[in-house]
Chain A
Amino acid sequence: MPEQPADEPVSPATDADPGRDRLQRALLRPSRRQGVVAVLLAVLGFAFVVQVRDTQADDTYAGLRESDLIQVFDGLTGTSERARREVERLEARRDELQDESSARAAALDEAEQRARTLNIIAGLVPVSGPGLRITITETDGRVSVGSLLDTVQELRTAGAEAMEFNDTYRLGAQSSFENATGGIELEGNLLESPYVLEVIGDQHNLKTALTFSDGPVETFELDEGATVTVEELDSIEIESVREAVRPEIAEPFDGQ
């Protein structure tokens, strides 16, 4: 207890608290012994501040109680559950859209295919393919409209897919023949001998359709005095096209 210097009385004022006086004196008159205390207090302050900052920076769940942790965990579970449901919903929606778009693509494909077929049948687009070239040259007489029409009908029956006269006139569903001076009129266009009919279709069938007994070729050659040559070509190009005709009276009927 060498705290109290000998020259100092305990307290000049007996009513005053000695501890309080000592505190005041220590604050006003620092003694050397305070140095050690100061060092230790500096260490304490340093460690305190470091620990406080560490605790603040460490913003994890370290300081939470068990019940808080359970609550946090519950919340996370609920959130992940909701997120999972959302993912499922979105995936279902995505599948739905994919189905829809693939169905739409299939429908579009089919429609395109149909349009291509119909274009060929209606003679709206140039076509090419294997087929026959039939050249009918008048020598002794005139070729009649009837036998020409017969020829066309026979070829159609045999599956002709596209026909063209004289490299210029495409035959379609509405095509019609008429007699005319100096030749035959096809939809108002005068055709003259030699008539060149190019047909795309199965070559064998087409040829059979022309050359059977009493068939078109025989009719031309024997009855009408014309020469008929039939060439089988691997590739015939039919470049002429018809104008698309919009039906004015007929309408699609979707009864039954």
Chain B
Amino acid sequence: MLCIFRCFSLALLLLCLAAGVRADDILVADAYARCAFLAKSGLANVRIDVAEPVTQRKDLPPFCRVTGQIAPSIGFEMRLPMQGWNGRFLLAGCGAYCGELVPDREGYANSINFALRRGYAATTTDSGHQAPRTDTSWAYNNPQAETLYAHAWVPLAADASRAILHNFYRQKESWSYFSGCSNGGRTALKVAQMYPDLFDGIASGAPGINATYAAGVLGVFLDRTLVDKSGNLILREEKVPMLSQAVLYQCDSLDGLTDGLVSDPGACDFQPESLLCRDEGDTSTCLTAAEVEEVNRLYAGAQDSQGQQVYFGLPKGSEAYWTRWLLGETASGVPHVTDLGSNFLRYLGFEQDPGPGYHSSEFDLDGDIPKLESAARRFNATDPNLGKLQQSGGKLLMYHGLADPLTVPEESITYYNSVVNHAGSADQVSDFYRLFLIPGADHCWGVTGRAPDLFDPLQVLEGWVERDEAPERIVARQHVAVAGPEPAGPIMRTRPLCPYPAVARYRGEGSYFDADNFICQPASDGQGVGAE
């Protein structure tokens, strides 16, 4: 190691070579110098606070770590491999309301380390403001920060990253990608719509496309549905394992394969009344009338005073994840989505922010939705015209868990259908835009291990972008242990994900735990996954 630092001069370099130091080490030594030099590179619009080699991380290859701020206010961290760069660049989206730099976030959603390990140079940002990711008060009377968060941070961060990348490697990247999930998935769609030339490939996971609905209307609905008048959760997480298993027992076989998965939630007609408590005794293994009512309301979704559907309900088969997203308590004892609607409406949803005094209980689902129009224009990624992306040769991979209880899969399905309608036919879009629904999958791999749901979206995009291999199927893995976003335990099964509207069907022979024995087929009548 000491030698590395002394190798800067050619003479010493030769000495090192003579001393048997590997050529790789010398490249790293050169990278040390270039990494440190980045701090002095004087890029316009970029303030670099730290530029340092990081070589002691056991879980990561040696990389040059660059942190700082991109004008006007975008905090960022970029990681550039010091050896074995694969010529690619990734810009990661950020989740929820962003505001934090989480460069060591694991998994595939809004993270960069999985790409860094494969040789990517990658950047993650806070989208232009600094606040906890569930906080919205930064947006109070701050349209500039809102526009940055909505989409405008992306070209700024992409340009700055490219300049750093070029300074470091002395060459341009061969391929560039954007990948994000949840809000990052929404941002990815905005990029596809507004900045179609910026990336070669875009991965959009579980996007809250209609943010004003996915955060606003759904938020109002959840604020009203999950808690009673005293603000206490009605359905508590203790009941979730029972509810989840009851749905599985009833609906596992409806998709034609008994495999421990509810692959076709649309076909599942589970009624929570079947678990209704019959007497006043112990209610730990049954549902009270209030709990049954809540579960029914969650499945039904938001309605106006006339009983008209205003927004989608939660998917059957998503119950196991309710604990994670809806009912589980945070360390402070507050349910995860407390005031989801209020937080959005106070500072983001209306043209004039009503501020901290506002509560979602004031929101009138009959008449107030049009008041979210200006926010919709800013945040929502509903433009069905992807013609420019097609012209620029970009590829858009969209994926969504069919058991996502936080951003329902209908968001992606509806958008996909709108793009197809706008283009005229599915054939018109399938060469640059495909949607993959993931049976049994949670929101952005929040909890994995329950379904074959794990895959690397960048690997799919690489094949599509770089080798023109349009994804006919994506082989997803299910690991054994139920865990967070990182796979744990051995692989228990593989299963293909299919381009919507096709679904994976078992061939009828061979192990049904092996993706090889499934084919992607058009959904038959009444069995369309996500068919509404």
A and B co-occur in one complex: no
> Which residues in B have some Cβ–Cβ distance to A below 8 Å?
none
Interface, chain A (partner B; CB < 8 A): none
